[in-house]
Structure 1
Amino acid sequence: MIDISSNQDTPPRIRRRQTLALALLVVTGVINYLDRATLAVANEYIRADLGLSLGQMGLLLSAFSWSYALCQLPVGALVDKIGPRWLLGMGLVIWSLAQAAGGLVSTFGWFVLARVVLGIGEAPQFPAAARVVSNWFPPRSRGTPTGIFNSASPLGVALAPLCLAPLIAATSWHWAFFVTGGMGLVAAVVWVALYRDPVRDQLTAEERAYLDAGQAAEEAPKAGLSSWGALFKHRATWGMLLGFSGSVYLNWVYLTWLPGYLRTERHMDLAYSGLAASIPFFCGFAGALIAGWASDRVAKLAASPVSGRRNAVVASMLGMVAFTIPAALVESNTVAVACISIVIFLANASSACSWSLATVVAPRSRIASLGAIQNFGGFLGGAMAPILTGYIAQTWSFVPALLTGAGIAFLGAMSYLFLVTRPIPEQD
Structure 2
Amino acid sequence: MIDKEVPPRIRRSQTLALVLLLVCGVINYLDRATLAVANEYIRADLGLSLGEMGLLLSAFSWSYALCQLPVGGLVDKVGPRWLLAMGLVIWSLAQAAGGLASTFGYFVMARIVLGIGEAPHFPAAARVVSNWFPPRSRGTPTGIFNSASPLGVALAPLLLPPLIAATSWHWAFFATGGLGLVAAIVWVTLYRDPVREQLSVEERAYLDAGEPEKPAAKTSFAAWCALFKYRVTWGMMLGFFGSVYLNWVYLTWLPGYLRTERHMDLAYAGLAASVPFLCGFAGALIAGWASDRVTRYAVSPVSGRRKAVVWSTLGMVAFTIPAALVESNVMAVACISIVIFLANASSACAWSLATVAAPPSRIASLGAIQNFGGFLGGALAPVLTGYIAQTWSFVPALLTGAGIAFVGAMSYQFLVTQPIPEQD
- Normalising by structure 1, report the TM-score: 0.98
Structure 2 distance, partners of 1:292, 1:392, is 34
| Correspondent of 1:192 among 188, 191, 212 | 188
Secondary structure, aligned partner of 2:9: helix
The answer for the alignment partner of 1:69 in structure 2 is: 65
Shift of residue 214, structure 1, vs aligned partner: 5.8
Residue matched to 2:391: 395
1:341 counterpart SS class: helix
Which consecutive residues of structure 2, in runs of 5 or more, have no partner in the other structure?
A: none
Alignment of 1:19-38 (within 5 A): 19-38=15-34
CA deviations on 1:155-197 (whole Å, 9 max, x unpaired) are 0000000000111111100000000000000000000000000
Structure 2: distance between partners of 1:414 and 1:241: 12
Aligned-residue offset at 1:105:
1.1
Equivalent pair of 2:205/2:211 in contact (CA under 8 Å): no
Query: Which residue in 1 is equivalent to 2:406?
Result: 410
What SS class does the counterpart of residue 177 from structure 1 fall into? helix
1:94-121 deviation line (CA, Å, top 9, x unaligned): 0000000000010000000000000000
Aligned residue type for 1:282 = L
User: For residue 80 of structure 1, what is the aligned residue in structure 2?
Assistant: 76
Give the partner amino acid of 1:193. T
Provide the secondary structure at the position in 1 that maps to 2:209: coil
Out of 74, 88, 93, the position equivalent to 1:92 is: 88
Q: 2:356 aligns with which of 355, 360, 363?
A: 360
The aligned counterpart of 1:125 is 121
What is the alpha-carbon distance in structure 2 between the residues aligned to residue 93 and residue 427 of structure 1? 35
Instruction: Give the match for residue 295 of structure 2.
Output: 299
What residue in structure 2 maps to residue 371 of structure 1? Answer: 367
Please give the TM-score of this superposition, normalised by the length of structure 2.
0.99
Asked whether 1:164 is paired with 2:193, we answer: no
How far has the Cα of 1:222 moved from its partner? Answer: 2.0
Shift of residue 216, structure 1, vs aligned partner? 4.1
Q: Which amino acid counterpart does residue 28 of structure 2 have in structure 1?
A: N
CA distance in 2, matches of 1:302, 1:421: 13
Residues 205, 212 of structure 2: 8 Å contact kept = no
For residues 377 and 28 of structure 1, the distance between their equivalents in structure 2, rounded to whole angstroms, comes to 23
Which of 141, 165, 169 is equivalent to 2:137? 141
Partner of 1:289: 285
- Kindly state the Cα deviation for residue 47 of structure 1 after the two structures are TM-superposed: 0.1
1:107 is aligned to 2:92: no
Q: Distance in 2 between matches of 1:41 and 1:68?
A: 20
Helix, strand or coil at the partner of 1:9: coil
CA–CA distance in 1 between the matches of 2:215 and 2:276?
Answer: 42
Let me know the Cα RMSD of the aligned residues. 0.6
User: Which aligned segments of 4 or more residues in structure 1 are displaced greater than 6 angstroms?
Assistant: none
Distance 2:329 2:210 in 1: 49
Q: Distance in 2 between matches of 1:423 and 1:311?
A: 14
Deviation at 1:219, TM superposition (A): 3.1
Pair 1:348-2:348 in alignment: no
Q: Which residue of 2 aligns with 1:227?
A: 223
Query: Could you tell me which amino acid in structure 1 is paired with residue 233 of structure 2?
Result: T
Aligned CA distance change for structure 1 residues 242 and 235 (closer, same or farther; 3 Å): same
The whole-number CA distance in structure 1 between the counterparts of 2:36 and 2:217 is 42
1:138–1:214 Cα contact (<8 Å) kept: no
**Matching of residue 319 in structure 1 with residue 309 in structure 2:** no
Counterpart of 1:258 in structure 2 is: 254
Find the counterpart in structure 2 of residue 174 from structure 1. 170
Per-residue deviation, residues 20-58 of structure 1 (Å, max 9, x unmatched): 000000000000000000000000000000000000000
Secondary structure of 2:193 counterpart: coil
Q: 1:216 to 1:73 in 2, by over 3 A?
A: farther
Distance in 2, Cα, partners of 1:173 & 1:268: 20
Structure 2 Cα separation of the partners of residues 251 and 290 of structure 1: 18
| Aligned residue type for 1:382 | G
Deviation of residue 383 (structure 1)?
A: 0.1
Output the CA distance in 2 between the equivalents of 1:55 and 1:105: 19
Q: Which runs of 5+ in 1 are unaligned?
A: none
Tell me by how many angstroms 1:203 deviates. Answer: 0.4
> What secondary structure sits across from 2:213 in the alignment?
coil
Contact 1:92 1:188 (C-alpha < 8 Å) held by counterparts: yes
Residue by residue over 1:321-351, the C-alpha shift from the partner in whole angstroms, topping out at 9 and shown as x without a partner, is 0000000000000000000000000000000
Cα contact 2:58–2:382 (8 A) shared by 1? yes
State the AA in 2 paired with 1:94. I
Q: Read off the aligned partner of 2:36 and give its amino acid letter.
A: A
In structure 1, what is the Cα distance between the partners aligned to 2:378 and 2:39? 17
The amino acid across from 2:144 in the alignment is I
In 1, Cα distance between the equivalents of 2:407 and 2:221? Answer: 30
Match of residue 268 from structure 2: 272
Q: 1:304 to 1:266 in 2, by over 3 A?
A: same
> How far, CA to CA, are the matches of 1:145 and 1:203 in structure 2?
21
